[in-house]
Amino acid sequence: MVKISSKVTIVDVAAEAGVSFGTVSRVINHDKHVRDETRERVLSAMQRLGFVANRQARSLAGGKTNSVGVLVPDLGTGYIGEIIRGIDAELSLSNYDLILYTTHRTASKEANFVANLATGMVDGLLLVLPRNPADFISNLTQNNFPFVLIDHQGTGKECPAVGATNWQGGFTATEYLIQLGHQRIGFITGWMDLGCALDRLEGYHAALRTYHIPEKPDLIYKGNFFQQDGFEGASALLDLYEPPTAIFASNDVMAMGAMDAIRSRGLRVPEDVSVIGFDDIPQASLIHPTLTTINQPLEKMGRVATQMLLDLLNNPEKKTGRIELPTQLVVRNSCRPLREGQ
Amino acid sequence: MVKISSKVTIVDVAAEAGVSFGTVSRVINHDKHVRDETRERVLSAMQRLGFVANRQARSLAGGKTNSVGVLVPDLGTGYIGEIIRGIDAELSLSNYDLILYTTHRTASKEANFVANLATGMVDGLLLVLPRNPADFISNLTQNNFPFVLIDHQGTGKECPAVGATNWQGGFTATEYLIQLGHQRIGFITGWMDLGCALDRLEGYHAALRTYHIPEKPDLIYKGNFFQQDGFEGASALLDLYEPPTAIFASNDVMAMGAMDAIRSRGLRVPEDVSVIGFDDIPQASLIHPTLTTINQPLEKMGRVATQMLLDLLNNPEKKTGRIELPTQLVVRNSCRPLREGQ
DNA sequence: CTGTTAGCGCTTTCAG
DNA sequence: CTGAAAGCGCTAACAG
């Protein structure tokens, strides 16, 4: 078992191996200019003494921290958890530590965070769904500080980011509903300040147009990604003179809200109204009926973003743009073909 | 806006303020031995230059890192997310950073983690649901390394930990069902290696005894906290010659599995079978019907544990034992009174 | 109260 | 290839 608080330093190792501590440092840093025999001797000394390099000291001297900061808005939903899971997985492969900052969606926190950043606490940054990234992007870019945005539509500027094909997902979901025979398809939007919400809506529009289905503005309800919006949206849609036979919610949480609204009116899902979501969060397969939705590869997005960042850390000059990972239709039990006369 | 990568050091500040850098250090560390006027001068100089102390250096020199490590098994469920949320909230109040380690429930990761620990990466440790804490506890205790366990039954040793009143929760849930008129109450256990699972079962037994309801071993199904166990457990229970009229699952996820099993047999929740869970995870209120359950104050547990740790960090000698936070019945829609002749 | 002097443990030149 | 020396930015005695 590894002993805790082993205060073995390179000096101890050097003594044990009979070399200068500079040589030990070289071995630690995989410097080529060490004779194999010497390296072996040092390595075995390290082994014997149970040496573990002191990160603090390495950072101070070397000017790097070996840890990346991850800024997330929240931890409540499984959504973000999935992304972090991916980040963590990739990071643990590369000897970087993960320092987590939560903004709780407040601007003051974000500022505080930037200050921390300035401390040189981390070598790079992973920004998950930043609230208003514009503020930071220019600052970060100017200072040439490595960072990658996750799941946020770029603000026009070219900067490293990973997202999902939201437009395609919106299209696919709508198309699926159309192919099931639905024509009156309600849509509950996400928070329209976010590019992803916009793209999903665009995808919906495009599918409608592709299949020559008349678009009715009434069928679009403006939500904000919260469950309550789903409930209210579906309620409003069902109150229409010609209510939709299917509802496409911009995220799973709203889809759940919609399902509740539908049932609270004595209707059934999917018999009376089909519901499709977006995200494929873990609970999508846990609810009843299980939710048909568009899968966003959250975990993978975390991984890819991390890879991009590590790459950036190694080649600071490297230019990288936005990467979009494919979304995918996941058919479960919340949608069914339109019945006769419905 | 705070400038990034401001390389201002205490030396710069000292020059700007016209004092020695030692004095600046004193100001940073809230040392009382500084004349107010001097302090002001330094403070304003810091302000002007946008000084931010370098954590690495402070750590190296001062022997502390100003960050606490949080070890979690996983991030998939909202369960852990809630706890982290509490930890994060409390930590952000105290200028400590949170370094997250995920074990993914593998022993090798835990070992790796201990090694990291040895590096002196963190000042203290928050261990969320450790897999086999016995290995670490002795090691940590021997080295007098500050740590707090979260939601794990102590292994008999007295050590700082926070948990919930699982026994009480088990009792309350069962009692609630009994008061609704149920007599045949099925129980799906959690992973019995965990103290919390055991306690919940004990609570169930106690309630039955208290109300003089005969205990039938058949009504207890051994699960492992996974949804699948809930499904299989409920299926098995419903296959009994005298099936239960209510099912108490040791956690919400299994309760959801149970609900699925019930419905897949054409029965309804709660009309035909009542279901109660444990935890009150976020999705408990999102599913249909909403789940009646026992609330565990996850977020608060995180907060309290963090407070304990910070306390420990300040008074290393302080002895603290296990703290149990109250669980609470949350009545929603998955239970109803027993009908005549049921 | 404040300046000075050692390091903390390691990376990086710069000589050999 | 390897040793020696100079810091990284800060804390913590120790003198005044």
The whole-number average pLDDT for the span B174-179 is: 98
B32 CA to D13 C1', in Å? 16
**Of B127, B124, B164, B129, which Cα lies nearest the Cα of B146?**
B124
The answer for A 163-222 residues in CB contact with B (under 8 A) is none
Of A9-13, A58-62, B117-121, B284-288, the least confident: B117-121
Tell me yes or no: is domain A67-163+298-323 CATH 3.50.4.10. no
The share of chain A scoring above pLDDT 90, in percent, equals 44
**For residue range A206-241, what is the model confidence (pLDDT) as tens digits?**
999 999 999 999 999 999 988 899 999 999 999 999
Distance CA B67, CA A168 (A): 42
Q: Considering Cα of B98, then B104, then B107, then B112, what sign does the dihedral take? A: negative
Cβ separation of A77 and B263 shorter than 8 Å?
no
Partners of B145 on chain A (C-beta within 8 Å) are: 4-5
Q: Helices B36-49 and B21-28 sit at what angle, rounded to 10 degrees? A: 90
Phi, then psi, of A42 in degrees rounded to 5: -65, -45
- b/e per residue, B159-188, with b = 16+ CB within 10 A? bbbbbbbbbbbbbbbbbbbbebebebbbbb
Partners of B128 on chain A (C-beta within 8 Å) are: none
Distance CA A30, CA B268 (A): 65
Query: In one letter, which amino acid is A268?
Result: R
Residue at minimum CA to C1' distance from nucleotide D9:
B57
B43: alpha, beta or left, given left = phi > 0 and alpha = psi -120 to 50?
alpha
User: What pLDDT does residue A279 have?
Assistant: 93
A30 CA to D1 C1', in Å? 14
- Mutate: best of B87, B97, B110, partner A, most A CBs <10 A: B97
Cβ separation of A85 and B97 shorter than 8 Å?
no
User: What pLDDT does residue A122 have?
Assistant: 83
- Name the residue with tokens 């249909």: B288
Do residues B278 and B173 lie in contact, with contact meaning Cβ atoms separated by under 8 Å? yes
Distance CA A261, CA A324 (A): 33
A77 CA to C15 C1', in Å? 59
Closest CB from B4, B109, B140 relative to A143: B4
Do residues A276 and A246 lie in contact, with contact meaning Cβ atoms separated by under 8 Å? yes
User: What pLDDT does residue A1 have?
Assistant: 45
Q: What is the DSSP letter of A33?
A: -
User: What pLDDT does residue B1 have?
Assistant: 45
**Of A100, A67, A48, which Cα lies nearest the Cα of B59?**
A67
B109 vs B237: which has the higher pLDDT: B237
Q: Which nucleotide is nearest to A32 (CA to C1')?
A: D1
- For domain B166-296, the CATH class is alpha beta
**B322 DSSP β-pair partners:** B161
Taking the Cβ of residue A329 and every Cβ of chain B, the question of whether any pair is shorter than 8 Å is answered with: no
Q: What is the DSSP string of B200-240?
A: HHHHHHHHHHHTTPPP-GGGEE---SSHHHHHHHHHHHHTS
Residue B22 pLDDT > 50: yes
Taking the Cβ of residue B265 and every Cβ of chain A, the question of whether any pair is shorter than 8 Å is answered with: no
**For residue range B302-336, what is the model confidence (pLDDT) as tens digits?**
999 999 999 988 887 777 888 999 999 999 999 99
Task: Show me where the domains of chain A are located.
Answer: 10-53, 67-163+298-323, 166-296
**Of B169, B127, B138, which Cα lies nearest the Cα of B327?**
B169
User: What pLDDT does residue B108 have?
Assistant: 60
The CATH number assigned to the domain with range A10-53 reads: 1.10.260.40
The share of chain B scoring above pLDDT 90, in percent, equals 44
Residue at minimum CA to C1' distance from nucleotide C6:
B61
DSSP 3-state helix, strand, coil percentages of chain A (rounded to 5)?
Answer: 45, 15, 40
Of A79-83, A296-300, B202-206, B272-276, the least confident: A79-83
Q: Judge if A67-163+298-323 and A166-296 fold alike in CATH terms.
A: yes
Of A27-31, B36-40, B132-136, the least confident: B132-136
B99 CA to D10 C1', in Å? 22
